[in-house]
Structure 1
Amino acid sequence: MSGAEPLRQPDACPWAAARRLLPGTREAFARGWEGAAAAERAVSSLLGQAAELLYRSPESCVGPARAVRLLQLGDGLCDYTWEKLNTGPWRAVGRGWRQAYAYGCLLRALGLCAGGGESEGAEEKAARAALRACDLGLLLGAPVLDNVLGRMADVLREHLPRPRAAAAEEPAQKKTRQDAPLVPAVKTEAAIPRLRCPSLEHFRDNYLSPQRPLILEGVVDHWPCMRKWSVDYLHQVAGSRTVPVELGCRYTDEEWTQSLMTVDDFIRQYIKNEFQTQTGYLAQHQLFDQIPELKEDIGIPDYCCLGKEDEDDIAINAWFGPAGTISPLHQDPQQNFLVQVMGQKYIRLYSPEQSEKLYPYEGHILHNTSQVDVEDPDLVKFPKFKATAFQACVLSPGQVLFIPASYWHYVRAMNTSFSVSFWWS
């Protein structure tokens, strides 16, 4: 494999290492699928057949026929539950169906590991395919067997070549796209105020309670991500992981779509390809649960303690993409701390009092999104927009923007950028 070190020699083959992550007895394995089996009798039947294969004999190696059967059972479960996962709104999908899908992905991963083969490169190929199955289960399923898919993903990464650090090159933030529009000057009267490490009381009384935007400085300087994260670091830590990616400049465009790809493929196609005309954006609500190494590099802003939620209820989101990626003017129902880790973003904020002049889309799906192109507005079609007042900033690494709940915000990446947002109430 080009640009990689020779395959490491883990303690055991992928099958043996993965098999050890399962419960020690068939009865314990069966107790873990009670929620999934409740979804429908056919699910219980497929899982029962899988248990028979996995616990029939104690040996750590399996024959080709058993590997094929595990794959068939995994494919059957995934195909059977896929329709249920994609019928109606996601919140209406029962947890049992999501667990059943996770079990299907687990069986696929086990079957791939068991049938890895002995030819050159076969084990690595099988480990990559099994890792993708684990990621799909983590993204679309529900936790089963003490997060077995997450633990298996960690094991499988040990059976892949360790990525080699890229040669020194021009910093990514200097490689802006030639067609990226210039950032307008931020007038003093429109600038968002900045404070360095205000006390909790001062922030609460002067910004949280009156719902006023603020840029916080110095509050995340100690986070490991501020010194560690780079495009190359993401390649090394998460390159082999499969993640959802948004394709298109902004989600209101007709050509906008979503896809699943590895982080390495995303970096190669949309970050380091200077001739790429289509914009891709890794906008992920589960990235830090899926890849714990990244979560260890961040924290929870202290000011979140002023909210009503526990830390576990705070939604943490990742936003990684190239220059020119845009989040159209929209509003969210929760308070938001937007932490800039890599690159810079141009941001505009509009008070909820301006909503009538921002022309939100009609209908339920995009009711929180403005129809106006903020930096190139059609004032004939949207005449009231000309009279709107806004605040603006260029958010740089280490800065944290407090966006009050329901505040309209428009975001454009000036260069390769990674941000982390915290939604809280």
Structure 2
Amino acid sequence: MKLQLQDIPRVKNITQEDFIKHYYKPQKPVVLEQFIEDWPAVSKWNLDYIKTIAGDKTVPLYDDRPVDYKDGFNEPHAKMNLGDYVDLLKKEPTRYRIFLWNILKEVPQLQKDFSYPKLGLKFLKGLPMLFFGGEDSYTFMHYDIDLANIFHFHFEGKKEIILFNQDQSKYLYKVPHSLITREDIDFSNPDFNQWPALQYAKGFKTQLNHGEVLYMPEGYWHYMKYVTPGFSMSLRTIAKRPKNLSKALYNIFIMRHFDNLMRRLRGQRWIDWKNDQAIVKTNGYIKNL
């Protein structure tokens, strides 16, 4: 048995009108294969170039260890010079990833290598973020705290991606008061005996190559696995749908602070309770189908 995943549509290029009509308004994902061919980044950006231009920068690193009550919100597990990290990526598989690294702040000159897509959307220009990963490293299934529309630009190598709309949350073992599913689910090869609700989830899949762009609609769940060492950049626009915008505001101003408070008050018992509730609520839902 496999997850019910359909291939994300792919187009070579797209006009603003077609993007708005066929993907943005209906909130459907799409891969743009040759949309940024005029960017200097397409010919320049690879691991060696990033090492040359920013190798002395200290970067936050994350791995796939389970959430611990001592961890703060998005707190890194380690730090390393970017040059040493690139050497590690090229030497051997590693679980360490760079997550949400703001290139505008850290390496302003990289901004000269890309431009903001003219697709009729207003991008948050202070938040271009880079993500790096080694062979077989992956992110847990999650959605972004602000439920933004995300444009994900991939560079060097290949990356596998699985997406689910928010309406599939009831099948995904979502952990309450958080933005993730159960971390012990392997979405690249799930155990349906252990996680039976996943058989009902309907999502999307694709593999991104160098220079390709994935549009992820507001609040989409995403799981990303690096087939080879590589990196990506995300640009985002604010959620426009009232339901998603209100949920984003709740996440930012209430949910994350409540979760941090409960970690301090209850410690690991809070994390364990949330993980248990993910199973109780999800399996309870499918029993009523």
TM-score for both structures, normalised by structure 2 = 0.72
Q: Which residue of 2 aligns with 1:295?
A: 111
CA distances 1:87-109 after superposition (whole Å, capped 9, x unpaired)? xxxxxxxxxxxxxxxxxxxxxxx
Q: Give how far 1:288 is off.
A: 2.8
Match of 1:194 in 2: 10
Residue 190 of structure 1, CA deviation: 1.3
Question: Where in structure 2 are the equivalents of 1:359-398 lying within 5 Å?
Answer: 359-362=173-176, 364=177, 367-371=178-182, 372-398=185-211
Contact kept in structure 2, 1:239 and 1:262, CA below 8 Å:
yes
Deviations 1:1-34, CA, capped at 9 Å, x for gaps: xxxxxxxxxxxxxxxxxxxxxxxxxxxxxxxxxx
Q: CA deviation at 1:341?
A: 1.6
Q: Which amino acid aligns with 2:230?
A: S
**Structure 2 counterparts to residues 3-82 of structure 1, below 5 A:** none
Q: Which amino acid in structure 1 is aligned with residue 229 of structure 2?
A: T
Paired AA for residue 198 in structure 1:
I
Report the equivalent of 1:225. 41
Amino acid at match of 2:121: L
Match of 1:238 in 2: 54
Superposition deviation, residue 326 in structure 1: 0.5
Pairing partner for 1:325 from 124, 134, 137: 137
Code of the residue aligned with 1:228 in structure 2: it is K
1:283 to 1:257, Cα distance in 2 relative to 1, 3 A: closer
CA distance in 2 between counterparts of 1:324 and 1:387 reads 26
Residues 264-300 of structure 1 show CA distances to partners (whole Å, capped at 9, x for unaligned) of 12123x31322x6x42112233233211222221221
Q: Write the distance in 2 (CA, Å) between the matches of 1:346 and 1:252.
A: 21
Q: Distance in 2 between matches of 1:257 and 1:194?
A: 34
Equivalent-residue separation in structure 1 for 2:110 and 2:57 (angstroms): 12
| Deviation for aligned residue 1:410 | 0.9
SS in 1 for 2:206: strand
Q: Distance in 1 between matches of 2:40 and 2:19?
A: 24
Alpha-carbon offset, residue 186 of structure 1: 11
Distance 1:424 1:252, change over 3 A: farther
RMSD: 2.4
Which one of 83, 89, 97 corresponds to residue 271 of structure 1?
A: 89
Q: Is the 8 A contact 2:161 2:205 kept in 1?
A: yes
Alpha-carbon distance in structure 2 between the residues aligned to 1:201 and 1:252: 43
SS of alignment partner, residue 328 of structure 1: coil
User: Which residue is 1:337 aligned to?
Assistant: 151
Q: Which has the higher contact order (CA 8 A, sep 6+)?
A: 2
User: How many equivalent residue pairs?
Assistant: 228
Paired residue secondary structure (1:272): helix
Counterpart residue number, 2:281 = none
Q: 2:233 is matched with which residue?
A: 420
1:358 Cα deviation from its structure 2 partner: 0.4
Q: Indicate if the aligned counterparts of 2:47 and 2:230 stay in contact, CA closer than 8 A.
A: no
2:79 is the alignment partner of 1:260: yes
Any gaps of 5 or more consecutive residues in structure 2?
239-289
Segments of 5+ residues of structure 1 without an aligned counterpart are 1-184
Asked if structure 1 preserves the Cα contact closer than 8 Å seen for 2:47 and 2:156, the reply is no
TM superposition shift of 1:257: 5.0
Q: Distance in 1 between matches of 2:213 and 2:237?
A: 15
Once the two structures are TM-superposed, the CA of residue 253 in structure 1 deviates from its matched residue by 5.9
User: What is the rounded CA distance, in whole Å, between the counterparts of 1:316 and 1:273 in structure 2?
Assistant: 28
- 3-state secondary structure, aligned to 1:244: strand
Distance 1:251 1:221, change over 3 A: farther
Letter of the structure 1 residue corresponding to residue 190 of structure 2: P
Whole-Å separation in 2 of the counterparts to 1:338 and 1:376 = 23
What does residue 220 of structure 2 align with?
407
- Percent identity between matched residues is 27
Pairwise CA distance, 1:320: 1.4
Q: Does the CA contact (< 8 Å) of 2:3 and 2:198 recur in 1?
A: no
Task: Say whether the 8 Å CA contact 1:193–1:213 is kept in structure 2.
Answer: yes
Greater helix share, 1 or 2? 1
Structure-2 residue corresponding to 1:283: 99
CA distance in 2, matches of 1:206, 1:251: 39
Q: Aligned partners of 1:424, 1:361: CA distance in 2, in Å?
A: 25
How high is the TM-score relative to the length of structure 1?
0.50
Structure in which a larger fraction of residues adopt strand: 2
Cα distance change on mapping 1:342 and 1:253 into 2, 3 Å:
farther
- Paired AA for residue 158 in structure 2: Q
Aligned to 1:19: none
| Counterpart residue number, 2:263 | none
